[in-house]
Amino acid sequence: MRRNIIVGLSTILLALIVLVPRIAYAAEGDVADPATQIPVLMYHGLLTEEEKQLHPNNSSYITKASFEKQMKYLAENGYHTVIPSHAIGARHFDNSSNSELSGCLALQQFRII
């Protein structure tokens, strides 16, 4: 009887070891499909060149020129903020009015919104 319990538990444990990674991999496979991926861009702020020098190692803060270059690239490559094939999500900054205004102007300039 005891041997049957040990064999049964061992079988269940072995099945879990074999099957769980495969189930997890299948779930990852769905997310990895390019048709289901949307780039999400995050910026803490748009800065002048002088302000950027105060945050040289923080990639969340970029210059207005860099932001405009990125928006131009996205616009020229078919990206936009609705859900067709080249969609993006753009979250606006940290409630900083200069960042929101500059960001919106660049998004409008390159016809992303």
Query: What is the pLDDT, as a whole number, of residue 13?
Result: 60
DSSP state for residue 34 in the 8-state scheme? G
Write the CB contacts of 90 (distance below 8 Å, at least 6 apart in sequence): 41, 81, 103, 107, 112, 113
Query: What is the pLDDT, as a whole number, of residue 26?
Result: 46
pLDDT tens sequence for the chain (113 residues): 667 777 666 666 665 565 555 544 445 555 566 666 777 787 777 888 888 888 788 877 888 888 899 989 988 988 877 666 666 666 665 555 566 667 778 878 888 77
Query: What is the pLDDT, as a whole number, of residue 25?
Result: 47
The answer to whether the beta carbons of residues 4 and 53 sit under 8 Å apart is no
DSSP state for residue 87 in the 8-state scheme? B
